[in-house]
Amino acid sequence: MSAAWPPRGARAAAREGEGSPVSALPASLPAGPSGVTRYLQLASVLRQRIANGHWRVGDRLPTVQQLASELGVARITVRQAYGRLAAEGLITTHRGRGTHVASTAQGRGPSPALRAAINDPLQHPPALSIRILDTQRDQALPATLHEGGSADTQYLRIRKLHLHDAQPFCLVDLYVAQREHDRFPPRAIEHAKLAGLLREHGSRPLGHLHQTMTVGAAERAQADALDYPFAAPVAHVVRRLTDVDGRIVYAGDFWYRGDRFVLDTVLPADLLFAYPLAVVPATRSET
């Protein structure tokens, strides 16, 4: 969806020489066709290194001069990127002393609890809360969600936000077969995951869960809802759950903040060779 990132003729000396300045960025495109300013691009890479533990709290970051010559950008560009991160509280800068990591804003990647909340189709951990943004009855299933099953006639459309420890991490736009939803206890969709509700209260046994995962840049609506920078990396998952007859009982789009997303999968080797119908993702619930 988020249309091809402009494949600008990016190419540069790809050496990893320590200390040797690597001439770099196309050096002529200020904002470039990407439309995202250079200091913001730099900021998101630095933010990522702090989030994934490459730099830890207290570590000293490269000097402005080092980064500038390594990347082939002006010092003011690095300064703006650092300024952005400082405004977010991630780093501190002091004259003569350098730039240091002040906080990680969240440990080294998503916590095990959040990983389980994302990967386990049934479990609804206490820290997970669901904020329903909007519901509409009597909707038809969009054509893009038909694939892989036959559509029912009427769906309930639900737009909702998933939060973990009160922090939004996933924006959802999904369709549940109305006849199935009407069998649920009231307000159940706020406190349980749909796969569990359909297994518990559905009219027919379930068949398959299809997932298609892509990555992209946050569009406006997603950025606003997730409290996340525009154009920052996001994961997009399309999920479709069918019953044994191949009828789609629910299908929808899930957008995850890039810094709060991990997909875990495990594939036993015997399934691996039974391709195509093979790989097996999974997350251990705890530890």
Cβ count within 10 A of residue 40:
17
Total residues at the site for a second copy (CB under 8 A)? 117
Nearest-approach distance from CB 37 to a second copy, in angstroms:
5
Buried b (16+ CB within 10 A) or exposed e, 184-206: beeeebeebbbbebbeeebeeee
The label of the residue with tokens 């694939």 reads: 147
CA–CA separation, 215 vs 188, rounded Å?
30
CA–CA separation, 97 vs 245, rounded Å?
67
Site string for a second copy, 146-165 (x = CB under 8 A): -------------x------
Site string for a second copy, 187-226 (x = CB under 8 A): --------x---x-----xxxxxxxxxxxxxxxxx-xxx-
Q: Is 25 in the site for DNA (CB under 7 A)?
A: yes
Nearest-approach distance from CB 146 to DNA, in angstroms:
34
CA–CA separation, 170 vs 152, rounded Å?
26
Residue 264 binds which one of a second copy, DNA, none, with CB within 5 to 8 A depending on kind?
Answer: a second copy
DSSP string, 69-88: HHHT--HHHHHHHHHHHHHT
Contact 47, 85 (CB under 8 A): yes
Pick from 46, 47, 90, 99 the residue near DNA by CB under 7 A.
99
Q: Is 132 in the site for a second copy (CB under 8 A)?
A: no
Q: In the range 185-204, which residues lie near DNA by CB under 7 A?
A: none
Residue 35 or 126 with smaller CB distance to DNA: 35
Beta bridge partners, 234, equal: 216, 257
Q: How far are the Cα atoms of 46, 48, 51, 147, 191 from residue 54, in angstroms, in the given order? A: 10, 8, 8, 40, 36
Residue 65 binds which one of DNA, a second copy, none, with CB within 5 to 8 A depending on kind?
Answer: DNA
Q: Is 74 in the site for DNA (CB under 7 A)?
A: yes
Residue 96 binds which one of DNA, a second copy, none, with CB within 5 to 8 A depending on kind?
Answer: DNA
How many degrees, rounded to 5, is the angle at CA 94 between CA 43 and CA 73?
40
Residue 94 binds which one of a second copy, DNA, none, with CB within 5 to 8 A depending on kind?
Answer: DNA
**189 SS3 class:** helix
Q: In the range 43-82, which residues lie near a second copy by CB under 8 A?
A: 44-45, 47-48, 51-53, 71, 80
Contact 145, 249 (CB under 8 A): no
Q: Is 102 in the site for DNA (CB under 7 A)?
A: no
Q: Is 84 in the site for DNA (CB under 7 A)?
A: no
Q: Which stretch binds DNA (CB under 7 A): 65-73, 158-166, 201-209, 249-257?
A: 65-73
Pick from 16, 18, 58, 94 the residue near DNA by CB under 7 A.
94
Give the residue among 85, 77, 98, 94 at the shortest CA–CA distance from 31.
77
Q: Is 101 in the site for a second copy (CB under 8 A)?
A: no
Contact 17, 24 (CB under 8 A): no
Structure tokens at 147: 């694939």
- Residue ranges that bind DNA, judged by CB under 7 A: 25, 27, 30-31, 33, 35, 37-39, 61, 63-65, 72-77, 79-80, 82, 93-99
